[in-house]
Amino acid sequence: MSSSKQAPLLSRDGVNLLLPFIIITSCFALWGFANDITGPLVKAFSKIFRMSVTEGALVQVAFYLGYFCMAFPAALFIQRYSYKAGVLLGLSLYAVGAAMFIPAQMAGFYYPFLAAYFIMTCGLSFLETSCNPYIYCMGPEESATRRLNLAQAFNPIGALAGMYVAMHFVQERLHPLDTAERALLSPEEFEQIKSDDLWVLIQPYIYIAAVLVAIIILVRLLKMPKAGDTRSSKKLSTALGELVRIKNYREGVIAQFFYVGAQ
């Protein structure tokens, strides 16, 4: 009776890739956190700035606009440089966007927050474009699916953490006055409550920016695997043409479109 040897999960050419895998996998949780802390804050922004829910939903417009605008540039950047460079740029943009909440709070206006969300999600687009194939290359091709499944399991953990922070560390700590009641306040009272509430709202982003800076330093200093970082001279139009001819890819894009819309 013969037994087939299972391909190693986190090693390539005799090199153990556990630490790089842990660092890149943490990015899956980080963008899950960013995605799911955002939705509940639409109501918070509406209340803080005395806006309609429709105006508050511009947060989500700015959020997903970053993904839309940076998907192809991220792919081209990675193609020209490397997965590691894509991860570093993604983490940096994420950190800059999160840090921009501080001057946005000091300014006390709504639109600087939208700019911060846009920059942040440009970084998330780079991260998602880089990390999935990077994980795929951190070991033999035979065990790539197991690696991806393991890494992607941390995305919902980050998402749950984002929702928990939004509900219990932001919304529950905001001033209890609703939008209609705030409209009755004097300008001085309203500005004081708004300033206090914005400080509560930005605190998670300050902490996440600090975490991101620490991970950037780790990625920069750590010897990361280069497998899969081969440059390609293939044109974007050629690559897109090849993808469009794949039925599963076309149907997957359509399914993803409606999935995000339903969210």
Task: Let me know whether 225 and 245 are in one domain.
Answer: no
- The structure tokens 């974007």 sit at 236
- What is the pLDDT, as a whole number, of residue 3? 44
Q: Does residue 1 fall inside a structural domain?
A: no
Q: What is the pLDDT of residues 170-189, one digit of tens each?
A: 999 999 998 888 888 999 99
Residues 207 and 91 in one domain: yes
70 and 44 assigned to the same domain: yes
5 located within any domain: no
> Has residue 151 been placed in a domain?
yes
**Are 27 and 152 part of one and the same domain?**
yes
126 and 250, same structural domain? no
Distance CA(197)–CA(91), nearest Å, equals: 27
Q: Is residue 8 part of a domain?
A: no
- Give the number of domains in the chain: 2
**Co-location of 154 and 256 in the same domain:** no
For residue 98, what pLDDT is reported? 96
Instruction: With respect to residue 192, please indicate whether it lies within any of the assigned structural domains.
Output: yes
**141 lies in which domain range?**
14-230
148 in the same domain as 68: yes
- Intervals of the chain under pLDDT 50: 1-4
Same domain, 246 and 160: no
In-domain check, residue 62: yes
Residues 131 and 243 in one domain: no
Is the domain of 152 the same as that of 252? no
pLDDT of residue 2: 43
Judge if 207 and 253 occupy the same domain. no
